[in-house]
Structure 1
């Protein structure tokens, strides 16, 4: 199995705060890796560091054989990395259509791919010419994910996509990510919803205090309540 993304001894400082403390892990190509941990463990900071939003102060980040820890965020995106932040970042004053046009860096929107996206998120078709700022929270999350997948990406970094969403929308997201994976995408996802993590994840990384403290198969962690409680402080069922 080929590793698409590798972090080796990655440290991140934000101001005077030392956030990541020598993070080491690899993400296998074509697989979905879940990044779990207690609040404040460093999960979002890890995604931000990979994406270049925060600069690694030490260590190496390698994407498909290329060092990227010193690259700017736009350059990392051009290498085929899509990012869905926890904040559901969309351009509020632009329409749904305009948000997706901006995300399609390689040319005009692909109608076939749009139809595929609308199959998971029909609300985006319905509000195609509406301002993104007028959408509900769930609809903004759909748009944020659609922006990341409007073109094929080599790697998707996704931060808590199901947080605060209605169960029906969560089901649609799970189906969407499963189909993205079937199409060959590699996903690194932070998620607290156990059902989503269990359904989507192939492997799992658990963080604590800015370090990786566990790595293994998602199915093995899902079936070991004692390990869940030791690593996360409570069973994964309680994260739903």
Structure 2
């Protein structure tokens, strides 16, 4: 096995048209556990995920996965290499059943029955609505389907963009429980999240982005314990927000 972080970004810049969005992202995602990417709206978090996945090409800097450069590589090649991306807009097919959505997400339309059973245990609502159109699911259930689709095959790295956005507190609590189970597997997660209760409950390591640059890297425990650091980096206290 290659030593070092599973994923690393060094001095990454990304342009979208004439706009210089990322202006120096440095990030390391250790193998196993969850790394959380925090920052204000518009800081560059989603652009960072899209650059890793290959949906955007970096204009400068280096993206490495398992020690190998992948910056600018096409998304399908990254998917074949074990990276999955769950976008903020979920990307599910509302007119297809839950089963059909899951089948489409699996290469060649086949998946392990044991893995499917594990996923349906993580997200029991999907079992209940297995033969129903995905469009009838609630917002939280659609988010669960989106995550399950990305996990239908074993992945080394899961990129997830704001899974709790717009969800009710009870659904967020259920999502925390599901992610705790996910952390017991060997999947490494890089999570963009605005809900700080969710982030601090699950994160192992954290990076904070501001104006397209990495301004802090460390452990989530360190950030959670330091209200002054939270205020300086994020303009708020984690313990006062959920």
Matched, 1:61 2:63: yes
Superposed CA deviations along residues 51-110 of structure 1, whole A, max 9, x for unmatched, are 111111111111012211121111111111111111111112211111111111165122
C-alpha displacement of 1:31: 2.3
- Residue 12 of structure 1 corresponds to 14
Structure 1 residue runs of 5 or longer lacking an equivalent are: none
Compute the RMSD of aligned alpha carbons.
1.4
Indicate yes or no: 2:129 matched with 1:113: no
Matched length = 240
Alpha-carbon distance in 2 for matches of 1:76, 1:26: 17
**Counterparts of 1:106 and 1:234, CA distance in 2:** 46
Distance of 1:175 and 1:191 partners within structure 2: 16
Give the secondary structure class of the aligned counterpart of 1:60.
strand
SS at match of 1:3: coil
Following the alignment from structure 1 to structure 2, what is the Cα–Cα distance between the partners of residues 68 and 12? 14
Mapped contact 2:38–2:209 kept (Cα < 8 A): yes
CA contact (8 A) 1:192 1:239 kept: no
Shift of 1:175: 2.1
Q: Once structures 1 and 2 are overlaid, which stretch shifts more, 105-114 or 31-40? A: 105-114
Q: 1:56 aligns to what SS in structure 2? A: coil
2:38–2:193 CA contact under 8 A, matched in 1: yes
Per-residue displacement from partner, 1:131-176 (whole Å, max 9, x unpaired)? 2122221111010011111111100101111111122322222222
Deviations 1:110-145 (A, max 9, x none): 222222112222211111122212222111101001
Give me the whole-angstrom Cα distance separating, in 2, the residues matched to 1:9 and 1:101: 38
Residue number in structure 2 paired with 1:172: 174
Q: 2:227: which partner in 1?
A: 225
1:155 aligns with 2:157: yes
SS in 2 for 1:18: strand
Contact conserved, 1:120 with 1:172, CA < 8 A, in 2?
A: no
| Per-residue CA distance 1:199-224 (angstroms, 9 max, x = gap) | 11001100000000001110110011
Distance 1:218 1:106 in 2: 39
1:30 alignment partner, SS class: coil
Cα distance change of structure 1 residues 88 and 107 upon mapping to structure 2, 3 Å threshold:
closer
Q: TM-score, normalised by structure 1?
A: 0.95
